[in-house]
């Protein structure tokens, strides 16, 4: 964490603390549309270990969360097939924000406004540690990837392109 940087509590960090999850805090200068490439570069972490939180929806407009390596893309066809949906597509930013309660660019899978199914690219579980959004822009939290399964009930899927 940067010297002198203070991170105020977010719904995500509050959720993690309430569940007794140990995590590290990583602050960086948020860059509009910089994504995981920017955060990994600033934090000196491989982009593959930065997990992005994507709010998507199925053909019935039911929201879901997809957690994917920062350097990979989601195959919505593969994902839909694996979760038994006809189709899956990203939500529009304003819809994603309404579902999650977080600003786009600061979406965390922890402390969501409404409960949604969470799907995790299974290869992330092989990593010793991940960095994932801590509930605001320019703020990641580091932890063991197994927390995503144990705490969120994330279902491992193979949905990378």
Q: What is the pLDDT along the chain (161 residues), one digit of tens a residue?
A: 444 455 679 999 999 999 999 999 999 999 998 999 999 999 999 999 999 999 999 999 999 999 999 999 999 999 999 999 999 999 999 999 999 999 999 999 999 999 999 999 999 999 999 999 999 999 999 999 999 999 999 999 999 88
Residue 2 is assigned to a structural domain of this protein: no
Residue 134 is assigned to a structural domain of this protein: no
Residue 97's CATH number: 3.90.960.10
Residue 42 is assigned to a structural domain of this protein: yes
Q: Which of 130, 30, 154, 151 is nearest to 71 (CA)?
A: 130
Residue 5 is assigned to a structural domain of this protein: no
Q: How far apart are CA 25 and CA 131, in angstroms?
A: 9
H-run or E-run covering 26: strand 24-27
Residue 3 is assigned to a structural domain of this protein: no
Structural domain total, the chain: 1
| CA angle, residues 67, 72, 73, in degrees to nearest 5 | 80
List the domain range (segments joined by +) for residue 122.
Answer: 11-126+139-157
């Amino acid at each position: 964490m940067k010297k002198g940087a203070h991170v105020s509590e977010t719904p995500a960090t509050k959720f993690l603390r309430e569940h007794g999850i140990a995590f590290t805090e990583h602050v960086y200068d948020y860059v509009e549309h910089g994504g995981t490439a920017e955060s990994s570069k600033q934090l000196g972490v491989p982009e593959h270990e930065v997990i992005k939180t994507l709010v998507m929806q199925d053909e019935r407009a039911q929201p879901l969360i997809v957690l994917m390596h920062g350097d990979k893309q989601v195959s919505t066809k593969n994902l839909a097939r694996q979760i038994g949906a006809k189709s899956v597509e990203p939500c529009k930013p304003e819809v994603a924000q309404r579902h999650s309660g977080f600003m786009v660019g600061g979406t965390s899978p922890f402390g969501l406004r409404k409960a949604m199914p969470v799907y995790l690219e299974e290869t992330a579980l092989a990593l010793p540690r991940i960095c994932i959004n801590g509930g605001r822009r320019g703020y990641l939290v580091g932890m063991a990837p197994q927390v995503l399964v144990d705490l969120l009930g994330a279902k491992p899927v193979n949905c990378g392109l």
